[in-house]
Amino acid sequence: MLKLILAQAMLGLNNGVFYAMLSLGLAVIFGLLNVVNFAHGALYMTGAFLALILYSYLGVWIGIEDLHINFWAALIIVPILIGALGILIERTMLRWLYRFDPIYSLLLTFGITLVLQGLFVNFFSASGTPYPGQPESLRGVVDLGFMIFPKYRLFAIGFSIVICLAVWFIIERTRIGAMLRAGTENPDLVKAFGINVPLMVTLTFGFGTGLAGLAGVLAAPIYSVGPLMGADLIIIIFAVVVIGGMGSIMGAVVSGFALGLVEGITKVFYAPAANTVIFFLMVVVLLVRPAGLFGRQS
Amino acid sequence: MSATAQPTPLLKITDLNAWYGESHVLHGIDLELGEGQLITLLGRNGSGRTTTLRAIMGMVDRRTGSISIRGEEFISKPAHRIAPLGGIGYCPEERGIFASLNVEENLLLPPTVGKDGMSLDEIYEMFPNLKEVRKRMGTLLSGGEQQMLAIARILRTGARLLLLDEITEGLAPVIVKALGDAISRLKKSGYTIVLVEQNFRFAAPRADRHYVIEHGKVVDRIEAAEVDAKMDRLNHYLSV
Amino acid sequence: MNDTTSEVAEFADTDMQKSDTRGRVAQGVLFVILTAAVLVAPFFLYPVFVMQLLCFALFALAFNLLIGFTGLLSFGHAAFFGGAAYFAGHMIKVWGFPPLLGILLAAMAAGVLGLVIGSLAIRRQGIYFAMITLALAQIVYFFALQLPFTGGENGLQGIPRGRLLGVIDLNDPLAMYYFVAAIFMAGFLIIYRIIHSPFGQVLQAVRENEPRALSLGYNVDRFKLIAFVMSATLAGLAGATKALVFQFASLTDAHWQMSGEVILMTLLGGMGTIFGPIVGAVTIVTLQHELSSIGSWVQVVIGAIFVVAVLLFRRGIIGELARVLRLPSL
């Protein structure tokens, strides 16, 4: 039994990787822009597809059959591309909505989600395509004592923890992070001090979406790459940030990993509830602490 | 020496109008001050003094008229270019200390806008209290410490034109006195200062000129030398 | 509630309040056109298609009661629409309830669901409200997927239409059509009545300026909750009716994408207008129908319309029309 719990906990932690990375990006964006980016899941999906395209399709498309841009390269290229896409979205669309109620930017990014999903459904199988580019060095399994665990998944957990800590460090301990935090509190005053807040907003959105792209690449070898992989995930992410407290960076990360664990362990005791346990926890948090576990009570 | 005879004023504002959304808040502000001068903006709450400073900094939704600093026109400059190009330091009402930044981060946040900004060491020498609490989060400071921090923060940037909004509000008399000494020192070392002040007794001895603002307009302009003669009028303006 | 009217009138949307005669005439004309169109439509168009239009129009009208007249963005209305479809289907098919009773009970069940979801969601405001309704509706979706009697991925199929009041055979297309038309018109009039009641005026006051409504002593949360329950009930009425029309309760109706679609219909037609949701629903459903040949490109088109509507067209079709004609409200 204990072995089973530990095993499911590891698998849950593995999902938690993506909950944490996605809610982190969502929280960073929300903090400065006051925008809930519904397209975050779709950009994660696009990131996974870009990794797949770089490995399996690009070579065929441009006539160099042997070209397979590998996982490690994708880990660098894809976040940059997705970040650039985010910057494009911010500059051409999102920016015109800051004056209005934030629900409009939620609706805009919802529309973008439909467009991205629709496009990938058209060009790729809706049921998903496996990503064949998992690096040689991460194939195989590790014996954890209580279970045999794929090496790659262990890498994904470690890698995402490093990324989350790095983002936390940048935001809490560097000058850029101080500018970001100040901008979150009082953007007008930060602007009056001579800091280019509109540029900061654009780059922050690019950074947050880039994180979603990174999570997408990381997910490609684990889940099969499909147009709907981000669709239901984004709603779980919403629940994660409501539980963690929207403003908090650390809250997003900790709740992400923790809720992945909870979900995994639920599978052991009552599998059908695994899909909904996070939402029920959200209900409990709303009843007990409406501002979220790490949120400031307003 | 007559203040009106300044050849080119450092700051000259003509017919400044400003809006928040649809509401028209400033209806034509005119004022000027020369290098090294200190002026005050007097008036009741809600008369438009704070908005005048915010309009200078580009913190309103729309503004028209003319804001000229060292001969350069600022009315259509984007908000984040105003402080660096004008060499301005702005201390907002209620101090604007960032709660999620510690004292040192607050101090280092505004980028430099001029050459001769104070170093951190000089700042800590001028405000020794700040050094002791430099790792503490901004809003855990006392009101007086927060005010010191808000002023220190802009002195570090090398700004030579300071816009200070209600810096004595809600502070104990002993701190108000310390602030007064600091302002006098700054003026002596050549800073140009616009002071929005409720406390006339704090402002009067240090000002070259007073502007009285009512309903978003300058209704009177009183030179330092005329203050005694016009005390009745001033009392009338400032009485609630 | 009558004694509160005058106070509310003070700060309720004055355009709305003093809707001048021109506005009333225009509303009257539109209402006559609507009624006439509903009456004759089955002779020109495929009745099932028109019934589909009416169900979605009623759904959008119910949704608009919340976003347009209370200012709350629910991103979970599919739970009520789809949930009621399952309730009605189960009651009629398995328990053998007559169709009208099944539909009305399903609408009430959706109202109870609305009470549960609403009382949780109103604990937070604005954008959080949207996210929480979305997440809670996802629970309903998983129930629809996993409960033993919902038919899982296949949905609940073969719901019999039965006989209305034991007499009229609803398998007759025209009989079914006028039954649906009657439900739609009843729903429309109920919503119209709510909007123009003193209660509706308070709702609009909450939308315009919540702190002010609070300071006048209104229990804002209770008003929001009542509006939420009403909206959920009416959305349930629409969903239950749709289930009877198609004899099928489907998972799609409970999915969050459906919550998004009803937002789009309302936004496109005009949030806070009286006829806008109908126009929006007709536009979107017709578009989906006409474009069904291009497969999943429909989703791209719908998404693109969403983007354009949000960026350039926030008043919606009817809202723009009212502005051009200088009418207070349509």
The answer to whether C252 contacts chain A (CB < 8 Å) is: no
CB A28 within 8 A of CB A225: no
Average pLDDT of span A240-253: 85
* A198-240 per-position pLDDT tens digit: 999 999 999 999 999 999 999 999 988 999 999 889 989 988 9
Closest residue by Cα to residue A31 from A163, A239, A186, A166: A186
Position A296 confidence tier, pLDDT thresholds 50, 70, 90: low
| Biggest CA pair distance of chain B | 50
> Given a cut of 60, is residue A123 above it in pLDDT?
yes
CB A173 within 8 A of CB A4: no
pTM across the whole model = 0.88
Position C4 confidence tier, pLDDT thresholds 50, 70, 90: very low
Q: What single-letter amino acid sits at B175?
A: I
* A chain contacts of residue C153, beta-carbon cutoff 8 Å: none
* A chain contacts of residue B157, beta-carbon cutoff 8 Å: 193-194
3-class SS of residue B66: strand
Contacting chains of B (3 CB pairs or more, <8 Å) are: A
Which residue range is the domain that position B181 belongs to? 3-87+160-238
Rounded CA separation C234/C194 (Å): 12
* A chain contacts of residue C73, beta-carbon cutoff 8 Å: 103, 106
* B139-182 per-position pLDDT tens digit: 788 888 899 899 999 999 999 999 999 998 888 898 898 889 88
DSSP structural state of residue B5? G
* A chain contacts of residue B59, beta-carbon cutoff 8 Å: 188-189, 191-192
CB A193 within 8 A of CB B83: yes
Is B141 within a domain?
Answer: no
* B72-128 per-position pLDDT tens digit: 999 999 999 999 999 999 999 989 999 889 999 999 999 999 888 888 888 888 888
Rounded CA separation B105/C289 (Å): 58
From C183's Cα to the closest Cα of chain A, the distance in A is 30
Rounded CA separation B135/C184 (Å): 65
> Given a cut of 80, is residue C6 above it in pLDDT?
no
* B chain contacts of residue A192, beta-carbon cutoff 8 Å: 57-59, 79-80, 82-83, 90, 92
> Given a cut of 60, is residue C124 above it in pLDDT?
yes
CB A77 within 8 A of CB A216: no
Q: Checking DSSP bridges between strand B192-196 and strand B209-214, what pairing results, if any?
A: unpaired
- Which residue is it, tokens 């960026």? C311
Contacts with A, C 57-76, CB within 8 Å: 73, 75
The answer to whether C260 contacts chain A (CB < 8 Å) is: yes
* CATH number, domain containing residue B216: 3.40.50.300
Q: Which residue, among A37, A101, A114, A255, would best test binding to C if mutated, counting the most C CBs under 10 Å from its CB?
A: A114
Position C8 confidence tier, pLDDT thresholds 50, 70, 90: very low
Q: What's residue B240's pLDDT?
A: 52
Q: What's residue A144's pLDDT?
A: 83
Q: What is chain B's Cα-based Rg?
A: 17
Q: What's residue C93's pLDDT?
A: 84
* A134-190 per-position pLDDT tens digit: 888 888 888 888 888 899 999 999 999 999 999 999 999 999 999 999 998 999 999
- Which residue is it, tokens 């991460």? A138
Domain count within chain B: 1
* C241-251 per-position pLDDT tens digit: 999 888 888 88
Rounded CA separation A68/B143 (Å): 62
The answer to whether C138 contacts chain A (CB < 8 Å) is: yes
3-class SS of residue B110: coil
CB C81 within 8 A of CB C59: yes
Q: What's residue A270's pLDDT?
A: 86
Domain ranges of chain C: 2-13+41-255
- From residue B89, give the alpha-carbon distance in Å to each of A183, A192, B157, C153: 18, 9, 7, 64
Helix spans in B44-115 (H): 49-56, 79-86, 103-108
DSSP string, C120-138: HHTTS-HHHHHHHHHHHHH
CB contact under 8 A, C135 and A282: yes
CB contact under 8 A, C136 and A283: yes
Contacts with B, A 166-225, CB within 8 Å: 175, 178-179, 181-182, 184-186, 188-198
Residue A290 has its nearest CB partner, among C123, C130, C138, at C123
CB A282 within 8 A of CB A239: yes
Q: Which residues pair with C248 in a beta bridge?
A: C157
DSSP structural state of residue B118? P
CB contact under 8 A, A276 and C300: no
Position B7 confidence tier, pLDDT thresholds 50, 70, 90: low
Is B119 within a domain?
Answer: no
Q: Which phi and psi angles does C248 have, rounded to 5°? A: -160, 125
